[in-house]
A = this chain, B = another copy of it.
Amino acid sequence: MGRKSDAGDRILAAGAKLFGQRAYASIGVAEISAEAGVPKGSFYYFFPSKQALALAVVNEHWKHQRADWLRILTAPDSLAERLRALFVSTAEVQKQAVNGTGAVVGCLFGNLALEVSAQDDPVRARLQEIFDEQIDIVETAIGAAVEAGELTVPAPRQTAKAIVAQIEGMVLFAKLFNDPGQLDQLWQNSMRLLGVEGARAAV
């Protein structure tokens, strides 16, 4: 037991760890409390429910990832370089997870998105907002590159969404095959989605 003042933080960290490793539905308040080293009663002092903790974990994760994405995707480089930096950073997170836990953890948002099935789940609503915001950030980066005359993109929003979908799909493969190297294709695939370096139609 640590000081009460950091018990909330430890519960948050325990939730982030467990939700990142296993199915949300299979993890209970008792296990989270044990992982955090707090009595179960303490849990409810900080969070009214497991769902409330999940929302807090998701918001905390996005706060950091959002800052990373904004920093990387607004850097004074070409769009190609900015995307490359984003994917290097994405792969690095998964490589660190492999070094730490032996397993690619994948994307917390994607993992939860495939699991929250109730239509009125506030976690689902929050994940929708976060993916929309990820697409916004990529769309803005594309827009800046178009404005700078780097390339032309007929449908920036659709392209941004395709890139975020490509990230989720390749992260799924990285997790399934426990191989962060799967993410090495993300940059080239995204260049193709942007119409750069694509294969040429022969006819």
A contact residues vs B (CB 8 Å cutoff)? 21-26, 102-103, 106, 110-111, 113-115, 117, 119, 124, 127-128, 131, 149-154, 158-159, 161-162, 164-170, 172-173, 175-178, 185, 188-189, 192-203
Contacts of A165 in B (CB 8 A): 166, 169-170, 172-173, 189
Contacts of A175 in B (CB 8 A): 113-114
The docked-state distance in angstroms from the alpha carbon of A167 to that of B165 is: 8
Min CB–CB distance A85 → chain B (angstroms): 19
Q: Which residue on B lies nearest to A169, using beta carbons? A: B165
Interface pairs (11), CB distance under 8 Å: A26-B26, A111-B114, A113-B172, A113-B175, A115-B115, A149-B203, A152-B199, A162-B185, A168-B172, A192-B194, A193-B198
The docked-state distance in angstroms from the alpha carbon of A102 to that of B118 is: 10
The docked-state distance in angstroms from the alpha carbon of A168 to that of B185 is: 16
The docked-state distance in angstroms from the alpha carbon of A19 to that of B189 is: 31
B128 and A22 contact, CB distance less than 8 A: no
The docked-state distance in angstroms from the alpha carbon of A23 to that of B127 is: 17
Min CB–CB distance A61 → chain B (angstroms): 16
Min CB–CB distance A16 → chain B (angstroms): 15
Q: What are the 5 A-B residue pairs with the smallest beta carbon separation, nearest first?
A: A165-B169, A195-B199, A195-B198, A25-B26, A23-B25
